[in-house]
Structure 1
Amino acid sequence: MKPGCYIDSGPCDWQIIQQENGSAKVGLAGRYLPSGEIPDRQIVFVRVVREESSDTVLPWLPATIHEGQRWEISLELPVGGLYRIETSLKPDGLGIEYAFRGDMVHHIGVGELFVITGQSNSAGYGKDPIFDPPELGVHVLRNNGKWDLATHPLNDSTGSIHPINAEMINPGHSPYLSFAKYLKRELNSPIGLIQASLGGSSLGQWNPAESGELYGNLLEIVKSCGRLRGVLWYQGCSDTTITLSQTYGERFANFVKSLRRDLATPNLPFFTVQLNRFVADPGPWGMGDEGWSRVREAQRCAAKELPGIFVVPAIDLPLSDNIHNSSYGNVMLGERLAKSVLKHLFSRDLQADAPDIAAALATGGRELRLIFDNVSSRLYAFDLKPGDLPLSIFDESGEIEIEDYSIEDNMILLRLSREPGVHGVVHNQYGANPGYLSIIDAMSHLPALAFYGFKISKDL
């Protein structure tokens, strides 16, 4: 080996590091091989420059020298990048420009770090072509344990060191490159993605109170990267059986609580996606219409009942096959998630929350008022016929038909075929494959969140 400085531990090429209060602390350590007869008069220096220009970010700084020709240093890097970390070994009495060579780390960024969790629509199974190119400053920790420029498919299993989440078939396009590029543009800082999802995975594989095998893998991966800004979660199709769907909310809450505890981040945000649709017959797959509706309802309620949980809709997105979002749908979903992050983590004034049912009030006779939160201007139902609305009303006597309706701002007035009984409920977009058109916010065009079994109250 030639004289110089060698890095044994520290950040890797292409790594994105989570910023805190505008900077990130980065530790490096290694060894050096001196030249000549006076090794105690040779000093390790480290500097940081901008990758694109070599302009100085941090000037040459002396490292701490230890016995056995070891060295270490702690650097505080400002938000931004991409950066290059350089090392050198400077003999006493010589200028730094004549120092001996040293190892370097390339394409480092300090910004926001998100972990991708969930099943196939999180892993990305969009199969149709779309222009969604890579971009410097949007990087991914791949399954081979190495940081890289983020490109599709993010869940590539080539050289994986995590066999537990290796895909059985090749994934394709996911929402999260679009998500990360949108955030990078708005925040003007690098975005890092940690890939941990698995197609077909059940909530039980992520919940340490059940099998938890993917949970353990997730912890191992995240702890190797430091702190996170948030969790990206899209899962639920595998839990749409009647039995599993009934406990989905409780089990998801345990997953959230456990991950926050084990990462020592009690307020770790989760950005979740309410399930899209399954257009095949769900019966032979062990699923059911009620199960799909129950899981969507649990996802809706989690965002209302658990702090730091946010949900975006996907029910209106196009599909690539019978269950997976298309590439076009994924681009739309990535932008929805990015807007939710900008609104809830960075206080941006955006229309990022979908309309959500707040009250169902029987006003006497055959009228029912549905009142929604998160409506920026007014609701819009595409002027559908009453029978084509995605709403359905039931009570102890069965289904109640909708004969007519009108919309005023955030309220839908339904005129029913009969007055609801004591145990009346209303559903929105019930089943695995509900009606395609949704009730939307006329300004943001976000569809109202699907809901199931929402109780009708008497308007006194």
Structure 2
Amino acid sequence: MENKIDGIVIEQGPAAWTVLQHKNGFASMTLQGNWHLSKEYDPARLQAFARVVLEASGEVVVAWQPCEMAPGQQWRIALNVPVGGLYRIETCLRMRKDDPAMEWPVRGDMIHHVGVGDIWVIAGQSNAAGYGRGEYDDAPEMGVHMLRLNGRWDLATHPLNDPTDTMFPANREWSNPAHSPFLKFGKLLKRSLGYPIGLLPAALGGSHLRSWNPEESGELYRNMQAIVRHAGGSVRGVVWYQGCSDANVPESGEAETYYDRFETFTNRLREDLGDSALPILTVQLNRLIGWETSDALDRCWGKVRDAQRRAAINIPGVGIVPSIDCRVCDNIHNGPIANRTIGERLADVALKAVYGTSARHGLAPNAIKAHVAVASESGDGGRAEIAVLFEDVKGHLLSHTKEDAFAVEDAFGRIAVQAWRIEGPSEVRLVVDRLPQGDAFVHGAFETNPAYYVPFDDATGWPMLSFYGLRIEGN
């Protein structure tokens, strides 16, 4: 025998812990369900109501609103809720029209811990999924929620890419994930903006860009779109950390085409999500240690890193942060301390470039030009100094050591860099043992495991972005 409960039942509406993406400061939520009374009643006098209150204080945000009453003891309402929270959604059934103060209506279902704020997608491969091993100080925080891969909203906790009971098997991890940068990212946004942040994990360890490009295999792109639809279809931006797999197989040619394919991914994602300015915040590849390397492998890592750097220069709305100075916990995965740093850097970029609410710099030193600054002819081919100019230096470039952080080559091969020094606030001078001939290029910290101590901005502590193939002008 069916046991019906007196009052309002919510059959459809946001689940507990949901974060709704706001638009122009509001989000619309639709509730509907049925009602029941076991005692005699006058149908003409019954009315369902719904309201929204702050969970922490009970302060009314949206006052009691009458619902549309439908045949079959059904009801429905659409509420326009301002950005903020966490909210509690309450319902009730008023039996008497002479109860305007709503003192004694019949009970109704409630939905707890609902927020209206911004949703960010997490996409990429293992360092996006999060494989930081070891202890960490990165506790969950109310107001930073996640859509778990089981399809249910929850408080955001590590590991974000937990595949337990997943309904999105395309990005099910083979190994257990651990710590990632993005809980820290979400907490810093929430604290600065003052409203909830939702996270949508969609990354997969080991994935190639082709799996994210809808014009190639695209299976993870389609999976990500399904996750976004499940969360309501609208997001504020994407945090992206990927590229190792495209750099690791020189013969595949994927490193050479990375920029064009990433631009295609970006354009299609913006088109499909209906947001031509959708922010995409990227992390430049970290380092790969303990593997047998080669010149070809080093160059592939340099080409992917440089494609990421150029994407942030050339594609509006794409940002980038460095990770070359971050400590790994195995041969390729950032540890928890490194992940916290990356999360902080991504939040800095978001708050400055996306939200415009931060005075922090949010940019890394970026090599933009190289030219021969000093040249001398001699019988052994001459000597030269090559000036590398950087932009986005807030303070002054510094370096603790003079490791081999830079390489120079021309049509005749490598040109030895005998020494380098910092000249002024934003220039590096390379002393080379011969004049470059013809087309010549500078590379900076491009290898799989480059120099640890590269020039950094003393005002932010951010290292320079790695670069590859920066043309030397004026030869």
Normalization by structure 1: what TM-score?
0.96
Deviation at 1:332, TM superposition (A): 0.4
Deviation at 1:201, TM superposition (A): 1.1
**Which residue identity lines up with residue 97 of structure 1 in the other structure?**
E
1:230 to 2:246 alignment? no
Q: Answer whether contact 2:151 2:230 (CA < 8 A) is retained.
A: no
Aligned with 1:118 (options 124, 143, 150): 124
Q: Answer whether contact 1:363 1:458 (CA < 8 A) is retained.
A: no
Aligned with 2:205 (options 199, 203, 207): 199
Aligned with 1:343 (options 324, 347, 352): 352
Aligned with 2:405 (options 380, 384, 390): 390
Deviation at 1:34, TM superposition (A): 4.2
Q: Answer whether contact 1:123 1:198 (CA < 8 A) is retained.
A: yes
% identical aligned pairs? 44
Q: Answer whether contact 1:364 1:419 (CA < 8 A) is retained.
A: no
Cα distance, 1:395–1:5 mapped onto 2, change above 3 Å: same
Q: Answer whether contact 1:381 1:389 (CA < 8 A) is retained.
A: no
Q: Answer whether contact 1:282 1:289 (CA < 8 A) is retained.
A: no
1:429 alignment partner in structure 2:
445
1:319 alignment partner in structure 2:
328
1:415 to 2:431 alignment? yes
Deviation at 1:420, TM superposition (A): 1.1
Question: Which runs of no fewer than 5 residues in structure 1 stay unpaired?
Answer: none
1:369 alignment partner in structure 2:
387
- For 1:33-72, list aligned pairs within 5 A: 33-35=36-38, 36-72=40-76
Q: Answer whether contact 2:408 2:441 (CA < 8 A) is retained.
A: yes
Query: For 1:183-204, what per-residue CA distance to the aligned partner results, in whole angstroms no more than 9, with x for missing partners?
Result: 1111111111011111111111
1:16 alignment partner in structure 2:
19
**Which residue identity lines up with residue 250 of structure 1 in the other structure?**
D
**Which residue identity lines up with residue 79 of structure 2 in the other structure?**
L
- For 1:103-252, list aligned pairs within 5 A: 103-226=109-232, 227-240=234-247, 241-242=249-250, 243-252=253-262
Determine helix, strand or coil for the equivalent of 1:222: helix
How many angstroms apart in 2 are the aligned matches of 1:128 and 1:351?
30
1:266 to 2:276 alignment? yes
Query: For 1:294-325, what per-residue CA distance to the aligned partner results, in whole angstroms no more than 9, with x for missing partners?
Result: 11011011111111110111111000100000
Deviation at 1:14, TM superposition (A): 0.4
How many angstroms apart in 1 are the aligned matches of 2:399 and 2:82?
48
How many angstroms apart in 1 are the aligned matches of 2:109 and 2:121?
29
Q: Answer whether contact 2:291 2:331 (CA < 8 A) is retained.
A: no
1:7 to 2:10 alignment? yes
How many angstroms apart in 2 are the aligned matches of 1:336 and 1:364?
36
Determine helix, strand or coil for the equivalent of 1:244: coil
Determine helix, strand or coil for the equivalent of 2:103: helix
How many angstroms apart in 1 are the aligned matches of 2:169 and 2:296?
27
2:380 alignment partner in structure 1:
none
1:406 to 2:412 alignment? no
Higher mean displacement: 394-403 or 87-96? 87-96
**Which residue identity lines up with residue 339 of structure 2 in the other structure?**
N
Question: Which runs of no fewer than 5 residues in structure 2 stay unpaired?
Answer: 376-383
Q: Answer whether contact 1:152 1:173 (CA < 8 A) is retained.
A: yes
Query: For 1:379-410, what per-residue CA distance to the aligned partner results, in whole angstroms no more than 9, with x for missing partners?
Result: 1121x23xx24111111122112233332111
**Which residue identity lines up with residue 227 of structure 2 in the other structure?**
I
1:354 to 2:370 alignment? no
Query: For 1:88-146, what per-residue CA distance to the aligned partner results, in whole angstroms no more than 9, with x for missing partners?
Result: 11113363232222111100111121011111100100001011111111111100101
Deviation at 1:181, TM superposition (A): 0.9
How many angstroms apart in 2 are the aligned matches of 1:287 and 1:61?
66
Cα distance, 1:367–1:250 mapped onto 2, change above 3 Å: same
**Which residue identity lines up with residue 30 of structure 2 in the other structure?**
G
Q: Answer whether contact 2:293 2:448 (CA < 8 A) is retained.
A: no
Q: Answer whether contact 1:396 1:422 (CA < 8 A) is retained.
A: yes
Aligned with 2:300 (options 291, 299, 310): 291
1:380 alignment partner in structure 2:
398
Determine helix, strand or coil for the equivalent of 1:245: coil
How many angstroms apart in 2 are the aligned matches of 1:153 and 1:216?
23
Aligned length: 455
Normalization by structure 2: what TM-score?
0.93
Aligned with 1:31 (options 23, 30, 34): 34
**Which residue identity lines up with residue 394 of structure 2 in the other structure?**
S
**Which residue identity lines up with residue 315 of structure 2 in the other structure?**
L
Determine helix, strand or coil for the equivalent of 1:98: coil
**Which residue identity lines up with residue 3 of structure 1 in the other structure?**
D
2:77 alignment partner in structure 1:
73
Determine helix, strand or coil for the equivalent of 2:80: strand
Deviation at 1:364, TM superposition (A): 4.7
Cα distance, 1:379–1:283 mapped onto 2, change above 3 Å: closer
**Which residue identity lines up with residue 136 of structure 1 in the other structure?**
M
Query: For 1:50-107, what per-residue CA distance to the aligned partner results, in whole angstroms no more than 9, with x for missing partners?
Result: 1122221111110112223222212122221111001111113363232222111100
How many angstroms apart in 1 are the aligned matches of 2:44 and 2:242?
58
Aligned-residue CA RMSD in angstroms?
1.7
How many angstroms apart in 2 are the aligned matches of 1:377 and 1:93?
68
Q: Answer whether contact 1:282 1:288 (CA < 8 A) is retained.
A: no
Deviation at 1:283, TM superposition (A): 5.2
